[in-house]
Amino acid sequence: MTLTLERAARATGARVLNAEHFPAILRVVTDTRAVLPGDTFLALRGERFDGHDYVRDAVSKGAAALVIDDPRAAVDGVATLLVADTKRAYMDLAAAARERFFGHVIAITGSAGKTTTKHLLAQLLASHYGTQHVLASPANENNEIGVSKLLLSATAEHRVMVVEMGARHEGDISQLVQVARPHIGVLTNIGEAHLEIFGSHENLARTKWGLFSMGAQAVINARDSASAMRAASLGVPPLWFGVGEPTAPGVWMRDAQLLILTHGAAPREFTIDFRLPGAHNRANFAGAFAAALLLGIAPENLLSAIPNLTLPAGRYETVSVAGGARVIYDAYNANTSGMLAALDAFSTEQAQRRIAVLASMAELGSDAPAMHERVGAHAARAGIDVLLVSGDYAGSVVAGAVAAGFPADRIVRYGGNDEAVQWLREHAGAHDAVLLKGSRKYKMEEIVLSLRHAQDGQS
């Protein structure tokens, strides 16, 4: 949404310099590579950059106004909002833009599945409203910067906005909710992601529950015990979702072909063609479907979109590599629930051998060894034929697997991605399936790239 100088100055409490040169409307950008003539450049700071160092570059590219918090970065004759903190000002501008957005806002958070749920919901809504009328967070731009960017990019043409919200500190979700003011909030689960940062599961749960701090209609995973325990605190009963036999009013996936709606006057069942793998993705879909229903969309109007739904990049993505083995890349990130869900989905793959390449998880705090042991034990029960492990907690994964009966001679410890690539080139056959799952810090995409390069070299 575009803003006037008056509205922007009021929202940020800024000191206005060279007001006579301000453009009629402020189109805010934070990346000089995206600056167009007439834009307003807002100088953010990051761990490795300071946008104030690029102010003159922005002006040279046509920026007509600036938002800065360092007066030394001001440019003579250029319209400027001098604020106390540019990141806070960005959020204040986004909140002002939200006041001018008259469509519906749906916010999604959770320890796992939030990006996939957002992606599925955006596809469902696009099938009903049209793609041009749906605005959703790109990739996983889910922090203060990403949410602010999304809100400021909305136009009068958009009828619904799907906002992904992530948290790395206590209170983050409430802060984002104050900016986005969602009508509907989807909480996928309260798991164990970033426990090292939050300190306790209670702190994490309280932060996630901030999604409903401004009265958003709640859509909650009925199989998530932490969410179920807090549901009574909501002012309005939630719409539940889940996988399996229905236990509460909401949206349920009994299996990939049966969708059950248990809210309203009487239960309804729909035979569908859901093609995405894993029970976790059926849950993600049920949550997305529930949110769409709360917008007043008839379920019949969404059914035709279901067979064509896709997953985001890096989520259980099948890639073609050298040697003919089918590689499934699901290493965009990893936490315990995500690891277990990926192994469950992988256990259903038809293959001569199922080879799981598991890097460690990150930011789990003191419970990390036990959680990695749990992953190893789960791999032993999931029909995995060969287990490759690496990372800080590889030993714990091995211990859990062996304790659960996995043969030690079918476990391979690898030191780095190059070693994993070498092993796969030498041992993975044309009829094998390979799962790559682990934390982003281990850069498992390097394995895919190396195997693809080998394929290119052979072609």
The pair of three-digit structure tokens given for residue 15, joined into one six-digit string: 């000191």
- Report the pLDDT averaged over residues 120-138: 97
Cβ(134)–Cβ(128) below 8 Å: no
Stated pTM of the model: 0.91
Quick one: pLDDT at residue 256? 84
- Report the pLDDT averaged over residues 42-49: 92
Residue 293 counted as domain residue: yes
DSSP state of 305: G
b/e per residue 27-39 (b: at least 16 CB within 10 A): bbbbebeebeeeb
Residues 294 and 350 in one domain: no
Residues 301 and 324 in one domain: no
| % the chain with pLDDT above 90 | 83
* Number of independent structural domains in the chain: 3
Residues 297 and 372 in one domain: no
Residues 135 and 210 in one domain: yes
Residues 302 and 321 in one domain: no
Residues 68 and 117 in one domain: no
Distance of CA 59 to CAs 23, 43, 49, 64, 68, Å?
A: 13, 12, 18, 7, 13
> Which residues lie across from 41 on neighbouring strands?
29, 66
Cβ(375)–Cβ(437) below 8 Å: no
pLDDT in tens, 237-275: 999 999 999 999 999 998 889 999 998 878 999 999 999
Residue 347 counted as domain residue: yes
The pair of three-digit structure tokens given for residue 382, joined into one six-digit string: 């999931």
Cβ(438)–Cβ(391) below 8 Å: yes
Which residues constitute the domain of residue 16?
5-87
pLDDT band at 322 (very low <50, low <70, confident <90, very high): low
Residues 180 and 254 in one domain: yes
Closest C-alpha among 137, 132, 89 to residue 109: 137
pLDDT in tens, 326-363: 999 998 888 898 999 999 999 999 999 999 999 999 88
Residue 93 counted as domain residue: no
What CATH number is associated with residue 49? 3.40.1390.10
Distance of CA 453 to CAs 315, 356, 421, 449, 457, Å?
A: 21, 21, 11, 6, 6
Distance of CA 25 to CAs 7, 10, 65, 80, Å?
A: 10, 14, 10, 13
3-state secondary structure of 29: strand
* Angle subtended at Cα 264 by Cα 261 and Cα 266, rounded to the nearest 5 degrees: 70
Residue 167 counted as domain residue: yes
Residues 186 and 304 in one domain: yes
Residues 293 and 341 in one domain: no
Residues 258 and 350 in one domain: no
Alpha-carbon distance of 116 to 131, in angstroms, equals: 18
pLDDT in tens, 134-169: 999 998 899 999 999 999 999 999 999 999 999 888
Residues 300 and 379 in one domain: no
Residues 154 and 272 in one domain: yes
What CATH number is associated with residue 256? 3.40.1190.10
